[in-house]
Amino acid sequence: MSNDGFWKLTSLSHGLLSLRKDVTVLRKALHTNRVEGRELLYAIVLQIVKKDKAEGLEALLKTQQLKLHWTIPKDVNGMIGDSDASHDGSSSDSENPGTYLTDAALEHRAVKCTKVLANWHSPLPAPSKTLTRLLNQSAESDLLPSLRILLETKQVDPNAIVRGVPWVLHSIRRNNFQLASLLIESGASVAVWDSRSIAMGVMRGCTPLHALLEQRAFLEREHAPEYFVRQVVAGAKAGGSLEWAARVMDSGIRGLREQAGSALYFAVRRFSAKTTPVLSSWEMNFLQALAEAGADVGATDRRGGLTAFHWLCRIRWKDQKSEGGTAGTLQDTETETEGLHPVLERFITSSKSLPLNVGPRVSGFENARFTPVIAAAEQGDWELVRVLVERGASVDLGRTEGESKESLLHLAVTETVGRPPAPLSVLNALLQRTKDPNPWAESNNDARIRTGCTKSILSPKARTAQLEEAGTRKTSQMNLNEDLTSLSLTPLGAVLSSSASPDLSAVQALASAEGIDLLQIAIGQTVGEGVVGWNAVEWSLRQGHMDAAWWLHEKFPHLPITAVSPKKLMQTDPKADGNSSTLKLFRVCLAPWEDRSSPEQNGALCVLSAELDAVAFFSCLIERKILVNEVEIPGGNGGLVHLAAKNGSVGVLSLLLEQGFDPIASFRPGGNTINDSLGEIFSECPQEA
């Protein structure tokens, strides 16, 4: 409820009206974090003063939500006053466009309220025009000794308004940090803000903390010293303004838009968007001071979307320099991960309640949100992901905001530029906590995946079972190698879609997870508008990942591999030895191949092995009694012995001779003999001079 809403509600009856006298109720009901809240509170107080309600004024002052040094650009009657004083202080006469409560009490002859205000605050004179002029014209160090005397002897008010804004804020904007520090030491409150109208690039409701960020944004100006940053942060915490929000109008791609947030929110948002990921020492010290003060990482913008913690997780903490001076990197081992950066760790440990499972909704998925753990995973900060999950971040709730809408598990098993996959220890931690290891996500529109992969060893005529809407399989004639217009993958499907050999340990972890569905890890829309699905082995074979396919077949024998092309297997690794996954798959797929292959297809296998000198594969053909000599060979002359000799396939030639193939006779009348084939080989060799 807004401040004016509470005030109107309590005016409905005498019983509700009594709530205004309860300091505890007032402290909880009245809000000052946002500019509008403070202005509404001040407007309420003006009405109290006008009616000379001393009891109500005293109760509000006791809440410590209301500060006597506040002014707003309204006159004593609550009307908007002159707020045209320039931001840089160039205006000469607009010393105070706002109103003090004491002035309002005097104007309305509110004797009781005047007495209350006098008891709470003894007014001091504002700095004279001469002093203000000298501060603007002279070097800061020249006037500090004299000004210190004036402040110590109570000759000038440290909370005065200069050029339309609080003196301490005016000093920060002019880079007079020593002066601003002296004012704070002399009692100037940090719980102040610029109450003037918003302008392009200038913050409305700008506090001293926001002003430090404003100055930092102007690269040509020196930044505030570290001691002063900590002084301002400490003052903001003591004065209750640490979470005050400011608003600024910025121009962007989508036109003019307003941004709002606390000092921490603005800081982490700007720092995470830097073109260079490494933060400066000033930026790191600024964040550290806020962390030590307990700044709220759950603060959001006006739309309540991303929290400050989202932006914190988007900072590339791995690239930041630690206290030892070296940049943080992830460990490559399975059991070790680098500790969090000290500043980030301080934010996490000092926060009373981390906003772990909040964030903007992700369209297309019920209840899915862009959570902080997804922001961390997008940066590849797996140690941070581990810490957040251990503290209660949901593995299943989060999704990316991009086109693919990837889950945390998808991010953990895939790799992009600047983002490595998660270490196995982190992946196992995620799998232990997930309620669904089979979330679906759109592929990244990689043409290599959607089209028939060049590494695929599936037969060009391989068929699989089509999928109904409910996901059950039924008999159909869908080609496993057909090009696709769209593709959805589970995390297991995603890791098996890698262009390089996938991490077998990640495949094993996913395939062994409780509740995993191996019968359906990829679903695609074909060019012909059909829907086709792949099991884990089929998808591995389509992507050409032999080791993964063989492990899956051995571990889960119910997954069929009948769609494999023996010819493509042989072409993938013709020199494979007896222990390779390629050869093991070849042996398995020969059995169903024999049942449906023709003599011509068997002969084609023999020819290919002779051409490639695929000795291990050729031995399998001999064992299966698939080996035949009467086959069509390229060129039409001779048999397998001649073909092996012509191609220099020594290993296969030796096996043929061991099997009793005649090296002298030609296969066809008038055809080449073995001597003719050898002669062709030698004729192609370079002659010595």
As a three-state string, the secondary structure of 381-431 is CHHHHHHHHHCCCCCCCEECCCCCCCEHHHHHHCCECCECCCCHHHHHHHH
What's the average model confidence in pLDDT over 32-36? 80
- Contacts for 669 with CB less than 8 Å, ≥ 6 apart: none
Residue 38 or residue 506, greater confidence: 506
Do 499 and 590 belong to one domain?
no
Q: What is the pLDDT of residues 550-571, one digit of tens each?
A: 999 999 988 877 667 788 888 8
Report, in angstroms and rounded to the nearest whole number, the Rg of the chain calculated over CA atoms: 38
For residue 511, give its domain range.
Answer: 437-564
Burial classification of residue 206, based on how many CB atoms lie within 10 Å of its CB (0-12 exposed, 13-18 middle, 19 or more buried): buried
> In the chain, helix, strand, coil percent, each to 5?
45, 10, 45
pLDDT at 256 exceeding the cut of 60: no
Share of the chain above pLDDT 90, in %: 30
Do 441 and 560 belong to one domain?
yes
Q: Residue 665: what pLDDT?
A: 55
- Contacts for 147 with CB less than 8 Å, ≥ 6 apart: 131, 135, 156, 179, 182
pLDDT at 323 exceeding the cut of 60: no
Lookup result for tokens 């490639």: 612
Do 528 and 629 belong to one domain?
no
pLDDT at 460 exceeding the cut of 70: no
Highest-pLDDT range among 75-84, 273-282, 390-399, 657-666? 390-399
User: What is the rounded distance in angstroms from the CA atom of residue 585 to the CA atom of residue 567?
Assistant: 12
Please check whether residue 542 is in contact with residue 480, taking contact to mean a CB–CB distance below 8 angstroms: yes
Mean pLDDT of the chain: 79
Do 516 and 628 belong to one domain?
no
Q: Residue 559: what pLDDT?
A: 85
User: What is the rounded distance in angstroms from the CA atom of residue 548 to the CA atom of residue 509?
Assistant: 12
Handedness of CA 569, 573, 575, 580 (dihedral sign): negative
Dihedral angle at the C-alpha atoms of 555, 557, 562, 564, nearest 10 degrees?
A: 10
User: What is the rounded distance in angstroms from the CA atom of residue 538 to the CA atom of residue 153?
Assistant: 86
What pLDDT band is residue 662 in, cutting at 50, 70 and 90? confident
Do 441 and 427 belong to one domain?
no
What's the average model confidence in pLDDT over 677-681? 51
Lookup result for tokens 């040509």: 220
Q: Is residue 134 included in any domain, yes or no? A: no
Q: Tokens at residue 632, please?
A: 């069509």
Into how many domains does the chain fold? 4
pLDDT at 43 exceeding the cut of 90: no
Neighbours of 508 (CB within 10 A): 15
Q: Is residue 312 included in any domain, yes or no? A: no
Q: Is residue 212 included in any domain, yes or no? A: no
Q: Tokens at residue 262, please?
A: 């606390």
Residue 288 or residue 463, greater confidence: 288
Q: What is the DSSP string of 501-553?
A: ---HHHHHHHHTSTT---S-SEEEEETTS-EEEE-HHHHHHHTT-HHHHHHHH
Q: What is the DSSP string of 315-367?
A: S-GGGSB-TTS-B-----SSS--PPPPHHHHHHHHH-SS--TT---B-TTSTT
121-127's contacts with Cβ under 8 Å and 24+ in sequence apart are 121/68, 121/69, 123/157, 124/154, 124/155, 124/156, 124/157, 124/160, 125/155, 125/156, 125/157, 125/160, 126/95, 126/96, 126/156, 126/157, 126/160, 126/161, 126/162, 127/156, 127/157, 127/160, 127/162, 127/167
Domain boundary among 93, 124, 155: 124
Q: Is residue 549 included in any domain, yes or no? A: yes
Do 2 and 117 belong to one domain?
yes
Do 525 and 605 belong to one domain?
no
Q: Is residue 534 included in any domain, yes or no? A: yes
Q: Tokens at residue 525, please?
A: 């829309």
pLDDT at 672 exceeding the cut of 60: no
pLDDT at 387 exceeding the cut of 90: yes
Do 396 and 447 belong to one domain?
no
Do 550 and 585 belong to one domain?
no
Domain boundary among 382, 406, 435: 435
Do 495 and 572 belong to one domain?
no
Do 100 and 5 belong to one domain?
yes
Please check whether residue 145 is in contact with residue 80, taking contact to mean a CB–CB distance below 8 angstroms: no
pLDDT at 77 exceeding the cut of 70: no
Q: Identify each DSSP E strand in 419-472 by its residue range.
A: 441-442, 463-467
Residue 51 or residue 454, greater confidence: 51
Q: What is the pLDDT of residues 372-382, one digit of tens each?
A: 999 999 999 99
Q: Residue 375: what pLDDT?
A: 96
Do 547 and 588 belong to one domain?
no
- Contacts for 525 with CB less than 8 Å, ≥ 6 apart: 484, 485, 486, 487, 531
What pLDDT band is residue 123 in, cutting at 50, 70 and 90? low
pLDDT at 608 exceeding the cut of 70: yes
pLDDT at 97 exceeding the cut of 80: no
Domain boundary among 124, 148, 170: 124
Please check whether residue 380 is in contact with residue 419, taking contact to mean a CB–CB distance below 8 angstroms: yes
CATH number for the domain spanning 621: value is 1.25.40.20
Residue 640 or residue 430, greater confidence: 430
Question: How far is residue 502 from each of residues 498, 544, 548, measured CA to CA in Å?
Answer: 6, 10, 8
What pLDDT band is residue 669 in, cutting at 50, 70 and 90? very low
Lookup result for tokens 């993938």: 572
CATH number for the domain spanning 397: value is 1.25.40
Q: Where are the alpha helices (DSSP H) in 153-219?
A: 167-173, 177-185, 208-217
SS3 51: coil
Q: Is residue 203 included in any domain, yes or no? A: no
Please check whether residue 229 is in contact with residue 280, taking contact to mean a CB–CB distance below 8 angstroms: no
What's the average model confidence in pLDDT over 292-307? 88
pLDDT at 91 exceeding the cut of 60: no
Q: Is residue 28 included in any domain, yes or no? A: yes
Q: Is residue 278 included in any domain, yes or no? A: no
What pLDDT band is residue 84 in, cutting at 50, 70 and 90? very low
